[in-house]
Amino acid sequence: MEQGHQHHQHSIERELECVSQVPIFQGLADDQLTSVAQVTRPIHAGKGDAVFSTGDLSRTLYIVNTGQVRLYHLAEDGREQILRVLNPGDFIGEIALFTDEIHTSYAQATKTTELCTISRAALTDLITELPTLSMALLGALADRLKTAERQATLLAIPDALPRLAGYLLEISGHRAQLLDLPMSKQDLAAYLGMTPESMSRKLRQLAKQGAIETVGRRQVRIIDVDQLAEFAPE
Protein backbone atom coordinates (compact mmCIF):
# COMPACT_ATOMS: atom_id res chain seq x y z
CA MET A 1 0.00 0.00 0.00
CA GLU A 2 2.80 2.38 0.98
CA GLN A 3 4.59 1.59 -2.28
CA GLY A 4 1.53 2.60 -4.31
CA HIS A 5 1.30 5.88 -2.41
CA GLN A 6 4.94 6.66 -3.19
CA HIS A 7 4.32 5.94 -6.87
CA HIS A 8 1.37 8.38 -6.80
CA GLN A 9 3.54 11.06 -5.19
CA HIS A 10 6.25 10.49 -7.81
CA SER A 11 3.69 10.78 -10.58
CA ILE A 12 2.30 14.06 -9.23
CA GLU A 13 5.84 15.45 -8.95
CA ARG A 14 6.55 14.60 -12.59
CA GLU A 15 3.25 16.11 -13.72
CA LEU A 16 3.85 19.23 -11.60
CA GLU A 17 7.24 19.61 -13.26
CA CYS A 18 5.55 19.29 -16.64
CA VAL A 19 2.65 21.71 -16.16
CA SER A 20 4.66 24.32 -14.25
CA GLN A 21 6.87 25.01 -17.28
CA VAL A 22 3.90 25.68 -19.59
CA PRO A 23 3.24 29.43 -20.04
CA ILE A 24 -0.56 29.04 -19.84
CA PHE A 25 -0.25 27.54 -16.33
CA GLN A 26 2.42 29.86 -14.94
CA GLY A 27 -0.04 32.42 -13.54
CA LEU A 28 -1.68 29.81 -11.32
CA ALA A 29 -1.18 29.46 -7.56
CA ASP A 30 0.57 26.34 -6.22
CA ASP A 31 -2.67 24.63 -5.18
CA GLN A 32 -4.17 25.36 -8.61
CA LEU A 33 -1.10 23.89 -10.31
CA THR A 34 -1.55 20.79 -8.18
CA SER A 35 -5.16 20.56 -9.41
CA VAL A 36 -3.88 20.61 -12.98
CA ALA A 37 -1.18 18.04 -12.23
CA GLN A 38 -3.73 15.67 -10.69
CA VAL A 39 -5.63 15.34 -13.98
CA THR A 40 -2.59 15.00 -16.25
CA ARG A 41 -1.40 11.63 -17.48
CA PRO A 42 2.11 10.89 -18.79
CA ILE A 43 2.84 9.18 -22.09
CA HIS A 44 6.23 8.28 -23.55
CA ALA A 45 7.30 8.22 -27.17
CA GLY A 46 10.57 6.93 -28.60
CA LYS A 47 12.43 8.64 -31.42
CA GLY A 48 10.32 8.36 -34.58
CA ASP A 49 7.16 7.26 -32.74
CA ALA A 50 3.83 8.83 -33.69
CA VAL A 51 2.10 10.86 -30.96
CA PHE A 52 -0.98 11.15 -33.17
CA SER A 53 -1.73 10.86 -36.87
CA THR A 54 -4.02 12.54 -39.36
CA GLY A 55 -7.52 11.14 -39.03
CA ASP A 56 -7.24 10.56 -35.26
CA LEU A 57 -9.91 12.19 -33.09
CA SER A 58 -8.59 15.17 -31.15
CA ARG A 59 -9.78 14.98 -27.54
CA THR A 60 -6.51 15.60 -25.69
CA LEU A 61 -4.14 18.44 -24.84
CA TYR A 62 -0.53 17.28 -25.28
CA ILE A 63 2.27 19.06 -23.37
CA VAL A 64 5.93 18.29 -24.06
CA ASN A 65 7.80 17.72 -20.79
CA THR A 66 11.09 16.41 -22.17
CA GLY A 67 12.21 15.76 -25.74
CA GLN A 68 10.76 17.23 -28.92
CA VAL A 69 7.78 16.67 -31.23
CA ARG A 70 7.47 17.74 -34.87
CA LEU A 71 4.06 18.60 -36.29
CA TYR A 72 3.73 18.22 -40.05
CA HIS A 73 1.44 17.80 -43.06
CA LEU A 74 2.15 15.55 -46.01
CA ALA A 75 1.88 17.32 -49.37
CA GLU A 76 0.34 15.57 -52.36
CA ASP A 77 3.82 14.73 -53.66
CA GLY A 78 4.64 13.08 -50.32
CA ARG A 79 6.93 15.86 -49.07
CA GLU A 80 6.63 16.95 -45.46
CA GLN A 81 5.56 20.49 -44.61
CA ILE A 82 6.67 21.21 -41.05
CA LEU A 83 4.04 23.27 -39.24
CA ARG A 84 5.74 23.56 -35.87
CA VAL A 85 8.30 21.91 -33.67
CA LEU A 86 7.30 21.54 -30.03
CA ASN A 87 10.00 21.80 -27.37
CA PRO A 88 9.60 21.38 -23.57
CA GLY A 89 6.75 23.58 -22.33
CA ASP A 90 5.01 23.71 -25.72
CA PHE A 91 1.58 22.18 -26.22
CA ILE A 92 -0.77 21.09 -28.99
CA GLY A 93 -4.37 19.90 -29.14
CA GLU A 94 -6.13 22.89 -27.60
CA ILE A 95 -8.71 22.71 -30.39
CA ALA A 96 -10.05 19.64 -28.55
CA LEU A 97 -11.48 22.08 -26.00
CA PHE A 98 -14.05 23.38 -28.39
CA THR A 99 -15.04 20.60 -30.74
CA ASP A 100 -14.52 16.99 -31.73
CA GLU A 101 -11.94 17.74 -34.39
CA ILE A 102 -10.11 15.19 -36.49
CA HIS A 103 -6.35 15.75 -36.52
CA THR A 104 -5.29 17.01 -39.96
CA SER A 105 -1.58 16.69 -39.24
CA TYR A 106 0.96 14.21 -37.91
CA ALA A 107 2.85 14.57 -34.63
CA GLN A 108 6.08 12.59 -34.29
CA ALA A 109 8.74 12.47 -31.57
CA THR A 110 12.17 13.47 -32.92
CA LYS A 111 13.91 12.04 -29.85
CA THR A 112 12.90 10.16 -26.68
CA THR A 113 10.02 12.26 -25.41
CA GLU A 114 7.76 12.45 -22.36
CA LEU A 115 4.44 14.21 -22.75
CA CYS A 116 1.76 15.13 -20.25
CA THR A 117 -1.81 14.76 -21.49
CA ILE A 118 -5.03 16.33 -20.24
CA SER A 119 -8.37 15.08 -21.49
CA ARG A 120 -10.95 17.42 -22.97
CA ALA A 121 -13.34 16.82 -20.04
CA ALA A 122 -10.65 17.56 -17.42
CA LEU A 123 -9.46 20.68 -19.26
CA THR A 124 -13.01 22.01 -19.61
CA ASP A 125 -13.54 21.56 -15.85
CA LEU A 126 -10.25 23.35 -15.09
CA ILE A 127 -11.17 26.33 -17.26
CA THR A 128 -14.56 26.59 -15.55
CA GLU A 129 -12.87 26.61 -12.13
CA LEU A 130 -9.89 28.83 -13.06
CA PRO A 131 -10.85 31.96 -15.06
CA THR A 132 -7.18 33.05 -15.24
CA LEU A 133 -6.48 29.86 -17.17
CA SER A 134 -9.04 30.66 -19.85
CA MET A 135 -7.47 34.10 -20.40
CA ALA A 136 -3.99 32.57 -20.60
CA LEU A 137 -5.24 30.01 -23.09
CA LEU A 138 -6.77 32.74 -25.25
CA GLY A 139 -3.44 34.60 -25.17
CA ALA A 140 -1.58 31.44 -26.21
CA LEU A 141 -4.01 30.85 -29.07
CA ALA A 142 -3.50 34.44 -30.25
CA ASP A 143 0.29 33.89 -30.25
CA ARG A 144 -0.20 30.63 -32.16
CA LEU A 145 -2.28 32.47 -34.78
CA LYS A 146 0.39 35.17 -35.16
CA THR A 147 3.08 32.51 -35.66
CA ALA A 148 0.97 30.75 -38.29
CA GLU A 149 0.40 34.04 -40.10
CA ARG A 150 4.15 34.80 -40.07
CA GLN A 151 4.90 31.36 -41.52
CA ALA A 152 2.27 31.87 -44.24
CA THR A 153 3.84 35.26 -45.07
CA LEU A 154 7.32 33.71 -45.32
CA LEU A 155 6.10 30.83 -47.48
CA ALA A 156 4.47 33.30 -49.85
CA ILE A 157 7.92 34.70 -50.72
CA PRO A 158 8.91 33.00 -53.99
CA ASP A 159 12.70 33.18 -53.54
CA ALA A 160 14.30 30.94 -50.91
CA LEU A 161 17.08 33.37 -49.90
CA PRO A 162 14.86 36.21 -48.61
CA ARG A 163 12.60 33.58 -47.02
CA LEU A 164 15.53 32.24 -44.98
CA ALA A 165 16.97 35.68 -44.24
CA GLY A 166 13.58 36.93 -43.08
CA TYR A 167 13.18 33.96 -40.75
CA LEU A 168 16.67 34.39 -39.19
CA LEU A 169 16.09 38.12 -38.78
CA GLU A 170 12.79 37.51 -37.03
CA ILE A 171 13.91 34.84 -34.56
CA SER A 172 17.04 36.85 -33.72
CA GLY A 173 14.91 39.86 -32.81
CA HIS A 174 17.00 41.87 -35.33
CA ARG A 175 20.03 41.55 -33.05
CA ALA A 176 23.54 40.17 -33.59
CA GLN A 177 23.68 37.05 -31.43
CA LEU A 178 24.24 33.31 -31.34
CA LEU A 179 20.95 31.56 -32.15
CA ASP A 180 19.93 28.09 -31.04
CA LEU A 181 17.70 26.93 -33.88
CA PRO A 182 14.38 25.61 -32.52
CA MET A 183 14.53 22.58 -34.84
CA SER A 184 17.00 20.59 -36.91
CA LYS A 185 18.18 22.15 -40.15
CA GLN A 186 16.34 19.45 -42.07
CA ASP A 187 13.08 20.30 -40.30
CA LEU A 188 13.76 24.02 -40.69
CA ALA A 189 14.13 23.53 -44.45
CA ALA A 190 10.74 21.75 -44.52
CA TYR A 191 9.23 24.51 -42.34
CA LEU A 192 10.39 27.13 -44.85
CA GLY A 193 9.31 25.09 -47.87
CA MET A 194 12.86 24.37 -49.06
CA THR A 195 14.95 21.27 -49.66
CA PRO A 196 17.79 20.68 -47.15
CA GLU A 197 20.29 21.09 -50.02
CA SER A 198 18.80 24.44 -51.01
CA MET A 199 18.89 25.68 -47.42
CA SER A 200 22.53 24.64 -47.04
CA ARG A 201 23.40 26.62 -50.17
CA LYS A 202 21.52 29.69 -48.93
CA LEU A 203 23.20 29.50 -45.52
CA ARG A 204 26.60 29.35 -47.25
CA GLN A 205 25.60 32.33 -49.39
CA LEU A 206 24.64 34.39 -46.34
CA ALA A 207 27.88 33.34 -44.61
CA LYS A 208 29.93 34.32 -47.65
CA GLN A 209 28.36 37.79 -47.51
CA GLY A 210 29.37 38.12 -43.85
CA ALA A 211 25.80 38.22 -42.54
CA ILE A 212 25.92 34.99 -40.54
CA GLU A 213 28.12 32.13 -39.46
CA THR A 214 26.93 28.55 -38.96
CA VAL A 215 28.09 27.03 -35.68
CA GLY A 216 27.60 23.28 -35.35
CA ARG A 217 24.42 21.51 -36.36
CA ARG A 218 21.87 23.60 -34.48
CA GLN A 219 23.33 27.09 -34.13
CA VAL A 220 23.68 30.16 -36.33
CA ARG A 221 25.52 33.31 -35.31
CA ILE A 222 24.03 36.55 -36.63
CA ILE A 223 27.07 38.71 -37.37
CA ASP A 224 25.78 41.65 -39.40
CA VAL A 225 22.07 42.49 -38.96
CA ASP A 226 22.11 45.18 -41.66
CA GLN A 227 23.69 42.80 -44.15
CA LEU A 228 21.11 40.13 -43.31
CA ALA A 229 18.29 42.66 -43.67
CA GLU A 230 19.45 43.43 -47.22
CA PHE A 231 18.52 39.89 -48.19
CA ALA A 232 15.26 39.82 -46.19
CA PRO A 233 11.94 40.80 -47.82
CA GLU A 234 10.75 44.38 -47.45
Rounded to an integer, the average pLDDT of 83-99 is: 82
Q: Residue 10: pLDDT above 60?
A: no
Q: Which of 95-109, 117-131, 193-207 has the lowest mean pLDDT?
A: 95-109
pLDDT for the residue numbered 58: 80
Beta-carbon contacts of residue 185 (< 8 Å; ≥ 6 apart): 196, 199, 200, 217, 218
pLDDT for the residue numbered 97: 66
pLDDT for the residue numbered 7: 42
Beta 60-66 vs 40-45: how paired, if at all?
unpaired
| pTM for this prediction | 0.75
* 3-state SS assignment for residue 77: coil
Q: How confident is the model at residue 176 (pLDDT cuts 50, 70, 90)?
A: very high
Find, among 167, 182, 178, the residue nearest to 70 by Cα.
182
pLDDT for the residue numbered 200: 93
Bridge partner residues of 222 (DSSP) = 212
Q: How confident is the model at residue 96 (pLDDT cuts 50, 70, 90)?
A: low
Q: How confident is the model at residue 228 (pLDDT cuts 50, 70, 90)?
A: very high
Average of per-residue pLDDT values in the chain:
86
